[in-house]
Structures are given as C-alpha cells and as structure tokens.
C-alpha cells in the first residue's frame, strides 16, 4: 500500500560491480520500515563528472513513498552508503554507491546538511531521463513556477524542439 510523501532517490556507482551496488542499495531502501519503493527506472551509463578521472557510472532513479521527515531519510541514505562501502574522501570521486534524495514531495529545503530538490538535478540528464521515465508528469517544486506548472517532460520536449 502506497503511503506518505512521494520522493525520488538517485542511485549511482562506478566502483566494483556497479550493478550489484545499485541492486543492494535498492534492497536496503526497500527494507527501510518507513519507505515503500514504488518503481525503479532503467539503469543508464554515464561518464563521470569532474576530477579525478574515473570509471563510467551506472545511474538510476527510484520513486518511493515515505513516512519519514527529510533528515530521517538523510540518516537512512548515509547508513545505506556506509553499508555499501562508501567512503567520502574526494568530492565527486569514485564511489561504490551514491544515494541522493532528489525530491521530497514539493518541499524546498535549503539547509547546510540537506538541499531538496537536489540543486543540480535539472542540469543532469543521468538524473532527469530516468526520473521522467518513471514519472513523466513530475513537476519540479521551483521550476514549475517558471514553467507555469508544466511537467518537466513537457519542458524538456519543448526545449528539444528549439535546439
């Protein structure tokens, strides 16, 4: 039974068995008592951004409903990353698993520990393509104000027509 607030998680891995890391992170999300996973996207392969030079990423987006506040989800995300062997040593460096809280309903949070929606998600095709695959009617909480509440898929399609 779906419950609570709709959220989206971004998953990424570029170390070791990348698919296994994604599957284990999805299983850990599913096992959290206050998370009901709705649908995972397809996995996309994308080049790593920034330095250092590193292996290509596998990325996916997962939709879920939660009965937990955002900071509680952040704690769960950090636990899942730790259980998956994630060690934060280099910003944007190689990682066994990366779990991001992309969106928490239509909430906007701009805190020192958590920013929701993810501040760079609209710039990243490896986030937006999988998200729109599983939820084409999704509207970004702040971008929706600019686009007149149009779903992001409609905005992206319109931008492609002009390019």
Q: Report, as residue numbers or ranges, the catalytic residues.
A: 86, 95, 98, 100
| Residue 79 in tokens | 């636990």
Contact 29, 73 (CB under 8 A): no
Farthest-apart Cα atoms in the chain, separation: 45
Residues ≥6 apart with Cβ < 8 Å to 22: 11, 12, 13, 43, 58, 60, 97
Say how far apart CA 127 and CA 11 lie, in whole Å.
9
């Amino acid at each position: 039974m779906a419950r609570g607030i709709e959220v989206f998680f971004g998953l990424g891995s570029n170390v070791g068995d990348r698919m296994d890391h994604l599957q284990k992170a999805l299983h850990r999300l599913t096992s959290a008592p206050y998370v009901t996973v709705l649908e995972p996207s397809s996995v996309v392969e994308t080049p790593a951004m920034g330095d250092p030079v590193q292996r290509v990423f596998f990325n996916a987006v997962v939709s879920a409903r939660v009965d937990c506040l955002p900071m509680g989800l952040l704690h769960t995300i950090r636990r899942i990353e730790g259980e998956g062997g994630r060690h934060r040593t280099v910003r944007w460096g190689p990682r066994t698993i990366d779990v991001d809280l992309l969106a928490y309903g239509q909430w906007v949070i701009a805190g020192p520990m958590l920013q929701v929606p993810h501040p760079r998600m609209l710039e990243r095709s490896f986030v937006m393509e999988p998200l729109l695959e599983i939820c084409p009617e999704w509207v970004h909480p702040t971008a929706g104000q600019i686009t007149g509440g149009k779903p992001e898929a409609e905005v992206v399609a319109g931008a492609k027509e002009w390019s």
